[in-house]
Structure 1
Amino acid sequence: MQYAKLGCYWLCIVFTAACENGLPIAPEAHQASTIATSWELVWQDEFNGIEIDKSKWSFEYNCYGGGNSEQQCYTDRNENAFVQQGLLHIVARLEDYAGPALKDDHADYSRADTSTVKPFTSARLRSVFKGDWLYGRFEVRAKFPKGQGTWGAVWMLPSDWVYGDWSSSGEIDIVEAINLGARSDRQGAVEGELETRIHGTLHYGQSWPDNVYSGRSYRLPSELSPADDFYRYAIEWEPNEIRWYVDGIHYATQTSDNWYSLYSSDDELRLAKGSAPFDQRFHLLLNLAVGGTWVENANNQDIDYSVFPQVFLIDYVRVYKNSSQS
């Protein structure tokens, strides 16, 4: 999600012959079994309280644009993120807002900076240093927003950045959806078809702008939309392999035979060993972005201001560890 399509939009490393809109066409999915008994629940947020649990989540606060020229400022206001009736609400609103130009982790970041003004507000929550894991099953039950310009995402970033800046240290996108309900620009789409795809993606390689990515898109059966109901989205991340699921359907697999990390050491570019960069701990992120390079160049293009406000609803987030692994 962060910098997700900037600088690498032109490149699509795929496991199928065809590629559409920077992501490969999904293979035929198949039904997976229920969660294996070896997966044990180790962390969760059911959002059953009266406020967001700050022991599990931190807010980002900036107008940085996510590295993708996104059009929102992320805030920590109740107007943009709150818990109600057992659901986390992340709300993108049409309103001018001024905030920091730099991302929160930048050495020169200042919350008092109001140099950047954006036309939308929203929220981005992360579990960094509160929930960080190496391998596991990560599952979320969610209902996506809809409309041209929306970009909901559940994803993961490295907590320690062992192999350097994005994306040589990797990124795991559990599920993303953009412009749901807008005109579909899927290769082979029929007249009048609306956008219903989800995307599961890995980012890796070298630091920007030499980053690369690979992934799959998937459509729910019977033209169902992720914006019309709640569905369960998950990855199972194990040594050398990551698998993607929606409602128990396994629709994508990537392995360490395809991903890699090149990092700088002593002014030389080195290939990291083993299954790098996906051999280090990562944390979760939940956010709703507006616009950006990928979003505004897809479907109907630009942003439809008339559809806002939009809400990304999350019922729960659950993390499992495989008890059969040492």
Structure 2
Amino acid sequence: MNGRRAFLAGALSLPLAAKAGEAWDAVVDPATGTLGAALAAAERAGRPFRILLRPGIFTEKLTVRAPGVTIQGSPGTVIEYGTAAGTAKPGGGTWGTGGSGTLTIVAPDVTLRGLTVRNSFDYIGARRDGSGNGAQAVALAIGREADRTVVDRCTLLGYQDTFYLHTRSLVTDTRIVGGVDFIFGGAAAWFERCEIVTRYVPNAGGFGFVAAPSTPAAQEFGLVFANCRLEREAGVPVNSTWLGRPWRAGGNMALLGQAAFLNCWMDAHIRHEGWTWMGYKGPEGDQRRLTPPEARLREYASKGPGAGPIGEDRKLLTTEQARRFTRANVIGF
């Protein structure tokens, strides 16, 4: 092979250049191969590993376990699976929210580019039929071991709990679609130029919450959105969607959610009040609320019909405070 890296795993192609100067360790066509086989080869390789996915649908529920993996999609590449919290696991038991992801990353320095990742669980049908336990169904999960994850020019599709982030992540030029708490977790994450879309749900009384940060109180930064657009599907009413609510996961008193929207454009579906509370059980088992004034939920220079008015639960960063919110400070890479 003239010294070029090569392997054959299932129906994977040998390495080739997708375009001039760009070589791949694996090229996978969904008609003949699987991404799962390519990820297994990446684990065996024990070095940075580049995977190109051809157009088409990969119906696989996958975990990226090898550090330094790059997964590059082509126009029309979709990874999808339909698992939600409460649905049956192979071998017995049921999935929880964290295990429901279509694609889960548990290794550092992983990059996703040009992919659509979709949780295809029938959220609308579950609401209609009263099945499921809330229908949390994650599309992409970034685990605690997955430091320095990069998500670039992707599309993430779900309804409830679309994107779950535990650790430092950079998300650029990506479309994130969902309804209830659809960007959530304790990560320090920097979202730049992303399109954040609230979904229409028939007969819904409200249209959900964009962000649900569960940031450790000792961590300065959480979910930070810079120069993003908050948009809505057709049918989502004016003044129907919260910017978010602080999630004290498991009643952990060491969590004090942090999120900020910086220079973002917001459509009219964003509620005037901005943020709202989220319930949790206190140390004695009593039911409590974590409110926006207690948490660290802020905006700076919002634009569009959903921007403001500012009030007790919808607070601005000062210019001096906003200067602290840089990509370098938030994620360090």
Quickly name the TM-score band, shorter chain normalised: under 0.3
Structure showing greater radius of gyration is: 2
Q: When the two structures are superposed, what TM-score results if normalisation uses the length of structure 1?
A: 0.26
Q: Which has the higher contact order (CA 8 A, sep 6+)?
A: 1
